[in-house]
Amino acid sequence: MYPEWIRSMPKVELHRHLEGSIRPATILDMFRRNLGMYLDTSLEELLPRMQITGSERSLVDFLAKFEFFMPCIKSRADITRITREVIEDCAAEGTVHAELRFSPAFIQGLTGLSLVEAVEAVLDGAREVPAGMSVSFILGTPQPRGVEVAWDTVKLARDYLSSGVRGVDISDDTRIRSLEEYQAPMEWARSEGLGVTIHAGEAEGPESVRTAVERLGATRLGHGVRAVECDEVLELAVARGVVFEVCPTSNIHTRVAESYENHPMVQLLAAGAKVTLNTDDPGISGISLGHEYQVAISHWGLGPDELRQMNLTAARAAFVDDARKAELAAVVAAWRPDDGSAGGAAGGPRS
C-alpha cells in the first residue's frame, strides 16, 4: 500500500492498456460464464497464469499472460464491462485524466465484432465517467500485424475523433517488423489531428526511438527508456520535447531494466527529459498507479513536487483539446498534500 497523499494527488495517466488492466476477478468470471471453465478453481490458483510472479524472463513471457486470459473475452458486453471497470479503477486511484489504449483488430479476433463494433463497445463503457475525470482512447496496431491493419486502425481512429478517440499507437512485440513500415499511416494520422505515441525504446534499442520520433512523428514514446543507451538519441528526444511514458514495473517484468535502482528513469531525469509515470498493464503486473508513485519515492528519492511536475508534463502532453489541458494543469498545480505525511517522503536523494 501507499500513503493517502499519493492517492489524493490528481494524476494524469497516459499509458495504460485496456486489455492489460482487466480485474483478475472479472477474468475468472468471464471464463466461467463464457466458456464454463475453472468453475472449481479459485482466483488464487489462477492468478499466476494471469499475472507476473517474478520467474518470467522476457517480453514474450509477459505477452504470454495475455495469451492465457484473452480467450475468455467473447462479447460486446464483455468489452463494455471491462472498459467501465477500468475507468472505475482509475478514478479510485485519483486519476483525473486517463488515456486508455486498445487494439480494435485484437478485439475483433477475440469476439468476432467488426472494428467499428469493437470501438463502440469500448465507448459504451465510457458513457458514465466520474465527475471531474476525463478519458481519451488511443487505438493501437499490434506491430506484428502489419501496415494494412495500421491503415484500418488509423482511419477508424479518425472516424471516432470527436467521440473520445484521440490518438494512435504501434504496440505489442515491436521486434517482429521494422517500425519504418508504419511511417505513412502515422503521418496521415497526424495530419488528421490524431495524437501519435509509439512503443519504442523498450524491446528495441535507441534506434527505434529515433525512428519513432524522426520518421513516425511521435510526440510521445511508449516507454522510450532505452534512449539512454545512446547520447545522441537521448539529446534528440530532449531537444524535441518528446514525452516519455515511463512504466517502471512493466520494465522490470519484461527485463528492460534489471532493478528499480538501475532503471533508466534516473538518467532520463538527469538529462532533463520530459517524463511521466504510468502502469502499462496493471492487471498483469499486479500493481496500481499509486504503486508506481511509491516506487519513484522509495527508489529514486522523488517527492510531491517532482511527482506533481510529472503530472503537469502529462497534462500538457495529453491527447485532449487545449481547454481540457489547461483545466488538468490547473487541477494538478493546485494540489497540495494535506495530511502532513508527504514532507518526509521528499527527503531522499535527488536524481
**Using CB under 5 A as the criterion, which residues of the chain lie in contact with Zn ion when the complex forms?**
222, 280
How many CB atoms within 10 Å of residue 64?
13
Q: Are 174 and 202 in contact (CB under 8 A)?
A: yes
Q: Are 298 and 291 in contact (CB under 8 A)?
A: no
Cell of 332: 494538478
Q: Which is nearer to Zn ion, 280 or 292 (CB)?
A: 280
Q: Which is nearer to Zn ion, 173 or 280 (CB)?
A: 280
Q: Which is nearer to Zn ion, 18 or 329 (CB)?
A: 18
Minimum gap (Å) between residue 199 Cβ and Zn ion = 6
Minimum gap (Å) between residue 250 Cβ and Zn ion = 7
Neighbouring-strand partners of residue 115: none
Is 202 labeled as catalytic in the residue annotation? Answer: yes
The torsion angle over the Cα atoms of residues 139, 256, 210 and 328, rounded to 10 degrees, is: 50
Q: Which is nearer to Zn ion, 10 or 222 (CB)?
A: 222
**Whole-number Å distance between alpha carbons of 179 and 170:** 8
Minimum gap (Å) between residue 331 Cβ and Zn ion = 25
Q: Which is nearer to Zn ion, 93 or 280 (CB)?
A: 280
Could you say which of 13, 19, 99, 202 is catalytic?
202
Contacts of 331 (CB under 8 A, 6+ apart): 10, 96, 132
Q: Which is nearer to Zn ion, 3 or 282 (CB)?
A: 282
Q: Are 133 and 98 in contact (CB under 8 A)?
A: yes
Cell of 306: 517532482
Minimum gap (Å) between residue 21 Cβ and Zn ion = 11
Minimum gap (Å) between residue 325 Cβ and Zn ion = 22
The widest CA-to-CA distance across the chain, in whole angstroms, is 56
Name the residue among 40, 38, 39 with its Cα closest to residue 50. Answer: 38
Phi, psi of 235 (to 5 degrees): -65, -40
Q: Which residue lies nearest Zn ion, judged by its C-beta?
A: 280
Q: Which is nearer to Zn ion, 46 or 227 (CB)?
A: 227
**Whole-number Å distance between alpha carbons of 70 and 84:** 18
Minimum gap (Å) between residue 20 Cβ and Zn ion = 8
How many CB atoms within 10 Å of residue 349?
7
- Please give the single-letter amino acid code of residue 307: L
Where are the alpha helices (H) located in the chain, listed in sequence order? 4-8, 24-35, 43-50, 59-69, 76-92, 104-111, 115-124, 147-159, 183-191, 206-210, 231-239, 248-253, 265-270, 282-285, 289-300, 304-317, 322-334, 342-345
Minimum gap (Å) between residue 106 Cβ and Zn ion = 13
* Residues tagged active-site: 202
